[in-house]
Structure formats: structure tokens, C-alpha cells
Structure 1
């Protein structure tokens, strides 16, 4: 009897050792078996195996020699050119800033028709609308034809009858707000509510990147996933990121994404007072801009400049223009009242991505002050953390050899770079590269009356929403919408 037990114990022990060996091999290859493998993990694993198969040229493969998954954006750089993205509507335009609009150091961008997607079929599905001049004029006119309706009707949640069944209703493409196409024309002032919504198709994630709430690094992350080896560069003029802009997609695809319950919609918010001060310090304190503002307002130019109080009080003025004009500081439309014409850096957060009327569509709403943990949680939920999130490297390499540095041409660090801390896994101010530390300057600029003006009047709806996210730790958009609206969504 004891001999039989000994044999059975030996079999069990051998099985345990075999499983342990398999786990060790797989964990070394970056595949975590302790959690369920998501569809995106399986797809990446399949592509990785095919790539290795082609590289071995028929040689015998040993699983113990497989290397960890390395994103394309972190592969060694062997290419020095910048290329326009094939299939982008503006490709071939007579401009001289190829380093800013093109994708640099990435041979795929120059040779592969499918870039920035994995397959040509994916790219064809996400092709951008190419508007002719006549259509652009029509869209722009629609953006500005109803100046009396420059603010959205804040309802927080859409009705059950219209939430998913109508493109025009679901996407706000109706009379009282600018439609998504507006941002194709004016970019900043006058753009529609979907200007800053970015998609990551391989994870079915739609992320609302609100200006002054970390949008720059999120766009860098989108380009990192796409394989751009200049992803740490200033991303806002790069052509490849446009393929992931929700408002530039065809309306049929917009509706498909919006109505699909497989897609996760997410956003991060920031304290309204802190965000407004950050916008002032970053965008208004420049000496040249100060002089332009003072001249336009007929103010005497002094060393004090256009003070923070001047800025806030101007946002409290009534907006009485006939429409949104181009982003010219001289006309001051972006600094008169708060509306669709306001500069997006201080436009209310709820006016981004349809939060004011479709908050219940967002499965996740986070707090930038807790971005490290919440970003990781979000990316784990959609299957992006293991393959991309934790492999993200902040910052990059600028020009060497005494060549003038260009923020548009920043090379990614190699995979073995020591600062391999993961996406959003560092301090808030460092992570989002804000020019000034607003929190440290807070008491210097805010008085009690200015605080009341910002939180109780100018950004009252922003504050109500952020208060629930920050203090009560509510992250589900539907629950937030129900709390704010007082009705069922």
C-alpha cells in the first residue's frame, strides 16, 4: 500500500515539476498564465510566432530561446528618414514640416501600405474622410450658424430610446451642437464635441483625451501601439495619429463604434481650478502672447502683463460674437465666455467627447491624481497592459552632434533602456510634461472669490462631476450620470 502511495506521489510530483517548467518558460516569454489571456494577447502571440518562424528560415526552434515580446516602437532604429503616411488625405501637400507631420525613424511607415495598422484591411476600414472645399465650407457654416446655441444642453445621459439607434442623435449631429466634422475644419475653436476622442481598435478602447488632462501622452501611447519609433516626439501634428481620431472617421464607422457594447469608452478628469491655472501658465504667460492680448484689449503694456484675474474675469463675460473664427489671439473670441469657440485648453471638460449628454456611455471615468493605478487597471481591462502598457518608456532621444533639437524628431529608447517604468507610472506633473507645476503655484494666483467664480459658476458642471470622481471614487459613467441627473439612465 505504501509503495503504491509512493508511486502516485512520484507521478504527482513529476506533473507539478512539468507544469512549473512550462510556467517558467511562458513567463519568460512575457505570457502570464496566472490570468486569462485576452483576445488581443492571442493575436499578438500568433503574430509573434509567425515573425519568429520567418526569421528562423526552417531552423529547429527551441522554446527556451524565445525572447520577450518587444513592441515595434522599441525595436532598434535602423532608419533615419521621415515619411508621410500613405493614404492620409493631406499626403503630398506643399509644406516643409515633414519632420512634424511625418512618421520618423520607422521604415514601416515608408514601405508598408498598411501602416499604422497591422493589415491593409484594417486600414481600409479606418480610412479618413477626404473633404473637398465645398463640403468644408458647408461644415464650417454649420458650426457657426447658430451663435445663440454656443453652449451644450447638459443632460448627462442619453435616453434609452436613442442611445444606440441613430447616428445623428447618438453622435450629436443635430441642430443645437456642432457636428463632429467641425473639427476637421477649425481644429481648435468651433470644433465639435468629439474632437479629442481617440480609438485603439485592437483593444476596442475609445479614450477621451482632454487638453491639460494628459492628452499628449495618451496620443504618444496610441502611436507607441501603432509602432512609431518617434512616438516620444510632439504628437499633435503627426499624420498617423489622425487614423485614430474618432471625429475624422466615416460616420458609419463612428456609429458602429459608438453603438457596439464591445467597445470601452474611458476618460480622465482634472480639478477644474488646477486645470485652468495650468492652462494660463502654459498658454497665456508667454511675453509675445501677453503683448498681443494687451494690445487687443487696449490695455497699457506693463511688466505685470495680462494677470490671472484678468484672464478668469474675461471668461465670465457674455459671448456675443456671430460665430467661431480661426484661432487668432487678437480677436479674443477664445477668451470671451466659455462655449464651443473657447480654446480647448480651458473649454469645460464636460464639453469633450460628449460627456455633457452621454456620460452614461463611458464605462470608466478616472481621476488624474490617481492616474498611475487607474491607467493600469483600465489597460488591464482591455488587454493592453501586459504587451504595451508596462513596456512603455517615457521620453526619448533628441538630436545629437550639435544639430538643433526638434521636438518633432525624438527617437524612442531601446528596449533595454533603464527608465522602463510603464505608461503613466510616474508622477503626474512629470508624466504629463506640464510646463508649470500648477499645484505649487495655486495659492499664489487664487483668491477665495476667484475660487468661487471658477467652481460655482464658470466650471460648475465640471466641478460637480469631478467631485464625484475625486471624493466618492465613482468611476462608472452610468452611475455618475444617474447621480448628476437624478434620474435613471
Structure 2
């Protein structure tokens, strides 16, 4: 059996690197008129906190205008927000915890660094065509935890069930541990969570760019994630999930001719057949879509936390600790929501071994069983953009020996 060489950075070092990469993206987008990437705090052209403050003070009149615009947008959007009620949860969330003046200030600073036209472009893009705002997909729009200034972007096959349970717990929903009764915690119409689209575009944009908010994305190595997707969605029930989502019209042909082979049946025959379908016919299902496509290009610079599945418990603690550090309340979110209450007995921490065993779908331990050189080469080709993406920060590894 060929040896598996990964040579990964530790999750702590990787977390620091992601922060640096995210900051670089932001610098490139906002400060392109300056050569700040080659300058330090002592350079006359460096944009530091004092200069940001002076930009804001010199344009205080815009704060009044934007502040009023936000209030008008909230009024026209029918706020306060009421999240969908779930069973006995009685979940109603208003906008009382949003600091409108602070959000308006963040937009004023962004205008000062770029232009009012650019800010309007971002707002229109967010509203009209962004994945992270529009409703529809169960793992599309960001989940907003207003009280904690946290936006969580979930992904299929990256512990999305547990992260939605965590979000529901942080919102105070009493039935936060419910799973699939019916479609909880996944269905936004039933899970009681708040999403970006519950806010008018001006407010959604403000919290997407505000330095006071955490915008978190968890990712998983494509080789592990894709195999997990195959085992869970492709190999089961003769690929029925794939047939329903990738070639639904073939179900009618199957009903008329029992010998007809659907795309799902073809994909279920082997991992290689599944990958070939993904490459040619069904690339964009949320369970195996490229993770580099998860966040719209215009908003990638504002993702300021990326956690990795291979250390998911430690990474989740890191997230909750970082969010806690931003709060004035002094809350320890890990202690309150992560350290206990999980598992069948309620005595486990989040992502304890017993909690995550089911969701691993045996994929990690079976990697070498399913990967040979040709399969691995195909996955490397399909997910090249993921492995090359500095925001995701995957370190490529090889399961099979090369000739």
C-alpha cells in the first residue's frame, strides 16, 4: 500500500496563514491605488487606524445619509426580522442587537477607500446575483448569528449538519439537536435560523464588510470530501440522489423501461464513474461542487476565518474563542456551546469522536481503497482550483505512487 504523505501545517499555523491571506485579499481590493503591499506602518502612504478615523471624520455627513438609508431600507424590508418558527422553539429575532450607526460607519469608510459607486456595485451584486445572499439552496446564503456578530457559511459534506445545530443552539432554539424531523436543521423554511437574505441589501452588505464581524467558512480536502459525497449520495440506492438531481428526466424512461440505466445507476457503479459524471454532466451539486466557488468573487476578501475539517473540533474551538474575544459580554462561547451538551448522552464536546463518526461515512479510512493513480489524477484535475486557492489553503497530498 503506497504511503500517504501530507506534510500539513498545523491547524494553528494554518489559521494564522489564512488570516494573513484574507488580509492580503482585502488590501488588494480596497487599497489598489496605494502600494501598501510593499510598505509598512512607518511609511507615509501606509493606511492605518488613525488615517481610517480621519477618513471617517472628514466624511461624517455621509454617515448621516447612509445611516438614514439603512433605516429606510429596514422599514421598506418589513423589519424587524421574524425567523421561521420551528415547533416549540418560538424563535423570533429582531434587529435590536444591530448597531446601525456602526454599520453605517463601516460603509462610509469603505466608500472613502474606494468610491460610493463601488459600494453601490457591491450592494447590487449582492442583491441580484450572489450565492451568499439569495434564498434557495440550503447551503447558499450565510447564516447570521446577530448577537455574536458571526456569519457562518456552511457546505455540504463539511459537517454542515453539526454547524447548523450549533447555530440553532447559539440562537437559543430548544430543539437544536433535532435532525431531519422534517428537514431540520437543513431547511431554511423550517430550521428557525436567520440568513443574509432576511436583511435588506444595505444591511447585508454592511455586515459582510464590517471588521467587527466574523465571516467563517469551513473547508475539507477535496479527496476526502468527494469520496464522502460518493459514498453518501452516489453509491447508495443505486444512485437515486444523483438521478433526481442530475438527470431527473431519466426517471420517466426508467419507469417505462426497467432495463434503462439512469445516470445515477451509472455513477453508482464505481467511484471513477461518479467522478466522470461530476466532470461532464453534474459538476455543481452542493455536496461536491468546488469549494473555491462557495463564496462569490467580490466577497471573498471579507472572509476572515477559514477552518479545516481535518482538525474540526480544534478549529471550531478556535472560531468560538475568536468570536468570544470580540464580545463585550465576556462570554466564553466554547464553554457555553461547544464544550458539552453534544452526543447521545449530552456529555460530549462538539465533534467528539462519537459525534462525528457517522458523518465521516468511513471515507477517510477508505481513501486508499478507492484511490488509484488514475482516480487520483482525475480528482486533482477536477479540483485543481481548490488546491490552488490560497484562501482555502489546502496542501496537496498523494495517495498513490506515481510512475
1:447 corresponds to 2:400: no
Output one character per residue of 1:239-292: Cα deviation in whole Å (capped at 9) or x when no partner.
464542124432122112012111111211111011011111111222254498
Q: In structure 2, how many angstroms separate the alpha carbons of the residues matched to 1:250 and 1:274?
A: 37
Q: What root-mean-square deviation, in Å, do the aligned CA atoms of Structure 1 and Structure 2 show?
A: 3.9
In structure 2, the CA distance between the partners of 1:216 and 1:390, relative to structure 1 (3 Å rule), is closer
Which consecutive residues of structure 1, in runs of 5 or more, have no partner in the other structure?
1-85, 92-101, 110-114, 126-159, 189-193, 318-335, 397-416, 473-489
Match of 2:272 in 1: 309
Q: Distance in 2 between matches of 1:470 and 1:303?
A: 30
Structure 2 residue matching 1:210: 3-state secondary structure: coil
Paired position in structure 2 for 1:421: 348
The 8 Å contact of residues 269 and 466 in structure 1, kept in 2 or not, is answered as no
CA-to-partner distance for each residue in 1:37-64, whole Å, 9 max, x for gaps? Answer: xxxxxxxxxxxxxxxxxxxxxxxxxxxx
Q: Is the 8 A contact 2:123 2:202 kept in 1?
A: no
Match of 1:371 among 312, 318, 324: 312
Query: Aligned partners of 1:275, 1:163: CA distance in 2, in Å?
Result: 41
Paired position in structure 2 for 1:73: none
In 2, Cα distance between equivalents of 1:466 and 1:259: 20
Q: Gapped runs of 5+ residues in structure 2? A: 1-79, 101-112, 180-184, 254-259, 325-331, 397-403
Once the two structures are TM-superposed, the CA of residue 207 in structure 1 deviates from its matched residue by: 1.6
TM-score by length of 2: 0.58
CA shift at 1:443, angstroms? Answer: 2.1
User: Paired residue for 2:53?
Assistant: none
CA distance in 1, matches of 2:187, 2:206: 27
Distance 1:229 1:169, change over 3 A: same
Report the Cα distance in structure 1 between the residues aligned to 2:173 and 2:127, rounded to whole angstroms.
Answer: 37
Matches within 5 A, 1:85-484: 103-106=86-89, 109=90, 115-117=91-93, 121-122=96-97, 161=114, 166-169=119-122, 172-173=125-126, 182=134, 184=135, 186-187=136-137, 195-234=140-179, 235-237=185-187, 239=189, 241=191, 243-287=193-237, 289-290=239-240, 293=243, 298-299=260-261, 305-317=268-280, 336-338=281-283, 342-354=284-296, 356-383=297-324, 384-386=332-334, 388-395=336-343, 419-424=346-351, 426-427=352-353, 430-431=355-356, 433-434=358-359, 436-455=361-380, 457-465=381-389, 469-471=393-395
The answer as to whether partners of 1:198 and 1:246 remain within 8 angstroms in 2 is yes
Confirm or deny: 8 A CA contact 1:116 1:227 kept in the other structure: no
Alpha carbons 1:220, 1:231 under 8 Å: kept: yes
Deviations 1:73-101 (A, max 9, x none): xxxxxxxxxxxxx9758x7xxxxxxxxxx
Query: Is 1:164–1:170's contact at 8 Å kept on the other side of the alignment?
Result: no
Describe the shift of the 1:446–1:357 C-alpha distance in structure 2 as closer, same or farther (beyond 3 A): farther
Contact 2:266/2:273, CA 8 A, preserved across alignment: no
Q: What do the CA deviations read for 1:398-424 (whole angstroms, capped 9, x no partner)?
A: xxxxxxxxxxxxxxxxxxx6x433333
* Structure label with greater radius of gyration: 1
Q: State the secondary structure of the residue aligned to 2:289.
A: coil
**Alpha-carbon shift at residue 438 of structure 1 (Å):** 0.5
SS in 2 for 1:227: coil
Alpha-carbon distance change, 237 to 392 in structure 1, aligned in 2, over 3 angstroms: farther
* Cα contact 1:208–1:268 (8 A) shared by 2: yes
State whether residues 367 and 469 of structure 1, in contact with CA within 8 Å, keep that contact through their aligned partners in structure 2: no
Structure 1 CA distance, aligned partners of 2:116 and 2:150?
A: 19
Distance 1:394 1:268 in 2: 20
Quote the Cα distance in structure 2 between the aligned partners of 1:302 and 1:228.
Answer: 40
SS of the residue corresponding to residue 277 of structure 2 reads helix
Query: Are the equivalent residues in 1 in contact too, given 2:207–2:213 (CA < 8 A)?
Result: yes
In the TM superposition, residue 467 of structure 1 has moved relative to its aligned partner by: 9.7
Instruction: Answer whether contact 2:126 2:201 (CA < 8 A) is retained.
Output: no
